[in-house]
A and B are shown apart, each in its own frame.
Chain A
Amino acid sequence: MKKIFLSLSLLLASCASQEPASQLIQDAQSAIDDSNAQNCAAETFALAQAALRDAQKAQQNGDEETARQKARLAQSLAAQAKEEAQLNAEECEKRKNISAQIKEVFDDDLANPVAMQPDAEFQIIYFDFDESSLSSNAIAALRHNVDIMKQKPAQNVLLAAHTDERGTAEYNLALSQKRGDAVKEHASNMGIEPSRMSVVPYGKESPASTGTREQDYALNRRVEFISR
């Protein structure tokens, strides 16, 4: 489905008349801005951004043809990201809320003057009920985060580990620690220095969603990567 959409876009793009590269780059930029997809179609979104950078570089080098090509690619990737984001709208909204909540907590934290900003590039690692082992989805998300950390060797992260609201307060704190430890161990096996990651268990005390449906619980069983 996505592939068809992509090739169709490319086909349409290639049939278009020869517009100036600057116009195409501008269009791609607004398509990216408009896609609203950095939270839940992060990969495609990043690809679109990369294509746009290539287009800008090519234009600076006077290579109008490549610039046009890359700009069209960026535009279609942005459209694809937008569609992915819409398909996944519910989760997308939740993630944005999570980011906003974390930002609020750390911005307001008088006791902790060190600013803690969540990095939107990082994905949240989710867990199954009563589990501290990583599912295949969780491993994929972790690989994404590990790649970012490899690109930025100076960046350390906080692994904020959480459970859902079931269970009792202090035992959940210990369980969330186990989740954080599991993520840390996997990331270290993927080549990240353990000293670059510190786990802080939050137990059930800082839910991403305050509801009591299964999907709320699923959003709350998580480990978040926060740049520090």
Chain B
Amino acid sequence: MLMSRYFFLALLLALPAAASARPDKKDAHADDPAAAALSALDAKPDAATDASADPGQQTINQEAVVLGVDPLSLITVTPGGPPVRIPIAIPDSIKIGDNADENGLGRTLCDVIRNDLTMSGLFEVMPTETYALVNPAKEGLTTSTIQFDSWYNIGASVLVKTHYTVNPEHGEFAFDVFNVDTASPIALKFPTQTITPKNVRAVAHQFVNKLIGFYTGTDGVFGSRILFAAQGKSNFRKIQAFDTDGFGLASYDLPEAINVMPEWGPDGGILYTQLSPQGDNLFLYADKKLTQLTDFEGWASGADYCPKSRKIAFTGAREQNSNIYIMDADGSNLTQLTDMPDSIQTSPSWSPDCRRLAFVSNYSGKPQIYIINADGTGMRRITWVGNYNTTPDWSPKGDLIAFTARDERNVFDIFTVNVNSGEVTRLTQDQGHNREPSWAPDGRYLVFESTRDGKQPRLYLMNQDGRWQTRLSSTPGLKTPTWHF
């Protein structure tokens, strides 16, 4: 019996996610390297992409690909083996007692948990319709009364059961997680929670993060904040943030202007670039206080803050030539890091240990990614394919730098380069233009802007290998996202 159960589970894990037919091209070929390779050569715009809405998108020059005229075309999205996701069942919360759950706390809690786990790419949430086989509303809460055989039969190997009592203002929720295969509880330390309409989403995220931590050794990052520039009135831009699932949208109360390229700053504040007739300069908004950090004759933009060293790196131009500068969090101790003549240097991104920076330079003629030590030594170029590589973002694990590249069709896509080996990997392909990637603090995901669903960019999430691409918000015109560190 046990043998067959595990054999079945192994089969299940080996099967592609056939049930959840995602529009993601990469996923479609994840189980079939041959199909993916063919598709890479035959890289026509995805049927799901509205090619007519995007005249910049053309079919790839196949001859160029075959002859290898430009190496960037040869780098295509590659299958990474079958997705290994843990099948999990999350039945509705069971309410104990007669008080009505007027705020729908139980439903919201389960919806957030299911959504997060699906987005995580680590779990496969079994479809709720199939739970009828078990009739979970009538099922007991203890190991001896749970029908593990039935849960097993719908394909789940993990079962999350929540139950709660409702007081007029809030609910008391208990969380139990079971290993279906061994018919036993797992030792996830997640105590009973007092849940209100205000904190229900946050608690659900915390639970998911703990569950991910239990199975992977590193807690998840759901419920953390993503910062971005949004369209304001007339030609203005405003700075906003929302949670990893697009909920909890908030606008920063800044003077109306063209406010762009936000980054997380010191002490819970944010850094951004204001474009105005007075010049382009950096501002810090923290504790409801606005501070202008730079006053450059030419311009200053694109701050990146490193929490460990409390230093801000940014792009500055005293006259015509832009270079990389570093300063303290309050704008003092300004030092010029690069001194490259007759070229553009922009977009610094700190390594996680604050000892190195990645940046863009067109010193070679076209923009490429370079790295340099924070003391100005050891500069070297690390991208050698393509002719438009910009927006580097150094991963929290330190091994990869994500960036935006323009390929031969003038289509923008997201790639990573391995800092040590220089190996370049493509993460997006044939789904509109994809730009401005930013790593999640756990290094598992990237948030980025894409025009796959319309002319104006929207924000999307994907796993670090390009899998499980999910739209975060249907709002158009959201740009340059950056994930909280």
Which of A's residues lie within 8 Å of B, judged by CB?
A: 101, 104-106, 108-112, 114, 116, 158, 160, 166-171, 173-175, 177-178, 181, 198-203, 205-207, 211-214, 226, 228
Q: How far is the CA of A228 from the CA of B279 in the complex (A)?
A: 13
Counting chain B CB atoms within 10 Å of each CB, the highest count among A112, A116, A170, A213 belongs to: A170
Are A226 and B277 in contact, CB atoms less than 8 angstroms apart?
yes
Q: How far is the CA of A206 from the CA of B231 in the complex (A)?
A: 10
Q: A108-B256, A212-B54 are in contact. Are A206 and B275 (CB under 8 A)?
A: yes
Q: A111-B257, A170-B346 are in contact. Are A177 and B275 (CB under 8 A)?
A: no
Are B299 and A177 in contact, CB atoms less than 8 angstroms apart?
yes
Are A171 and B278 in contact, CB atoms less than 8 angstroms apart?
no
Are A206 and B258 in contact, CB atoms less than 8 angstroms apart?
yes
> Cβ of B347 < 8 Å from any Cβ of A?
yes
Chain B proximity of A168: nearest CB distance (Å)? 4
Q: A108-B234, A177-B317, A212-B55 are in contact. Are A201 and B261 (CB under 8 A)?
A: no
Q: How far is the CA of A205 from the CA of B255 in the complex (A)?
A: 17
Are A171 and B360 in contact, CB atoms less than 8 angstroms apart?
yes
Q: How far is the CA of A71 from the CA of B360 in the complex (A)?
A: 60
Are A213 and B55 in contact, CB atoms less than 8 angstroms apart?
yes
Are A105 and B346 in contact, CB atoms less than 8 angstroms apart?
no
Are B256 and A168 in contact, CB atoms less than 8 angstroms apart?
no
Q: A112-B277, A114-B277 are in contact. Are A201 and B258 (CB under 8 A)?
A: no
Q: Which residues from chain A contact B234 at a C-beta distance below 8 Å?
A: 101, 104-105, 108
Q: Which residues from chain B contact A202 at a C-beta distance below 8 Å?
A: 258, 275
How would residues 275 to 293 of chain B score, 1 for a CB under 8 Å from any chain A CB and 0 otherwise?
1111110000000000000
Are B436 and A169 in contact, CB atoms less than 8 angstroms apart?
yes
Q: How far is the CA of A171 from the CA of B412 in the complex (A)?
A: 14
Q: Which residues from chain B contact A111 at a C-beta distance below 8 Å?
A: 255-257, 274, 276
Q: How far is the CA of A110 from the CA of B236 in the complex (A)?
A: 11
Q: Which residues from chain A contact B299 at a C-beta distance below 8 Å?
A: 173, 177, 200-201
Chain B proximity of A133: nearest CB distance (Å)? 15
Nearest B-chain residue to A103, judged by Cβ: B234
Chain B 413-457 residues near chain A, CB threshold 8 A? 435-436, 455
Q: Which residues from chain B contact A112 at a C-beta distance below 8 Å?
A: 257, 276-278
Chain B 251-273 residues near chain A, CB threshold 8 A? 255-258, 260-261
Q: How far is the CA of A114 from the CA of B257 in the complex (A)?
A: 13
* Given A109-B257, A112-B257, A167-B390: 13 more A-B contacts, CB < 8 Å: A105-B236, A109-B277, A110-B255, A111-B276, A166-B410, A168-B404, A169-B391, A170-B302, A171-B367, A181-B320, A200-B299, A202-B275, A212-B55
Chain A proximity of B179: nearest CB distance (Å)? 46
Q: How far is the CA of A169 from the CA of B298 in the complex (A)?
A: 17
Counting chain B CB atoms within 10 Å of each CB, the highest count among A110, A203, A214 belongs to: A203
Partner of B275, one of A198, A205, A212: A205
The contact sample of 18 A-B pairs, CB cut-off 8 A, is A105-B234, A109-B277, A110-B255, A111-B257, A114-B277, A166-B56, A168-B391, A169-B391, A170-B360, A173-B302, A174-B346, A177-B322, A200-B275, A200-B276, A200-B279, A201-B280, A202-B258, A212-B56
Are A212 and B255 in contact, CB atoms less than 8 angstroms apart?
no
Q: How far is the CA of A63 from the CA of B364 in the complex (A)?
A: 68
| Smallest CB-CB A-B distances: 7 pairs | A111-B255, A174-B344, A170-B302, A171-B390, A168-B390, A104-B234, A212-B455
Q: Which residues from chain A contact B471 at a C-beta distance below 8 Å?
A: none
Chain B 41-79 residues near chain A, CB threshold 8 A? 53-56
Chain A proximity of B458: nearest CB distance (Å)? 15
Are A104 and B235 in contact, CB atoms less than 8 angstroms apart?
yes
Chain A proximity of B433: nearest CB distance (Å)? 8
Q: A202-B275, A206-B258, A212-B53 are in contact. Are A170 and B235 (CB under 8 A)?
A: no
How would residues 373 to 409 of chain B score, 1 for a CB under 8 Å from any chain A CB and 0 otherwise?
0000000000000001011000000000000101000
Q: Which residues from chain B contact A178 at a C-beta distance below 8 Å?
A: 320, 344
Q: How far is the CA of A181 from the CA of B297 in the complex (A)?
A: 13
Are B367 and A206 in contact, CB atoms less than 8 angstroms apart?
no
How would residues 298 to 331 of chain B score, 1 for a CB under 8 Å from any chain A CB and 0 otherwise?
1101100000000000010100101000000000
Are B258 and A205 in contact, CB atoms less than 8 angstroms apart?
yes
Q: Which residues from chain B contact A174 at a C-beta distance below 8 Å?
A: 315, 317, 322, 344, 346
Q: How far is the CA of A173 from the CA of B279 in the complex (A)?
A: 12
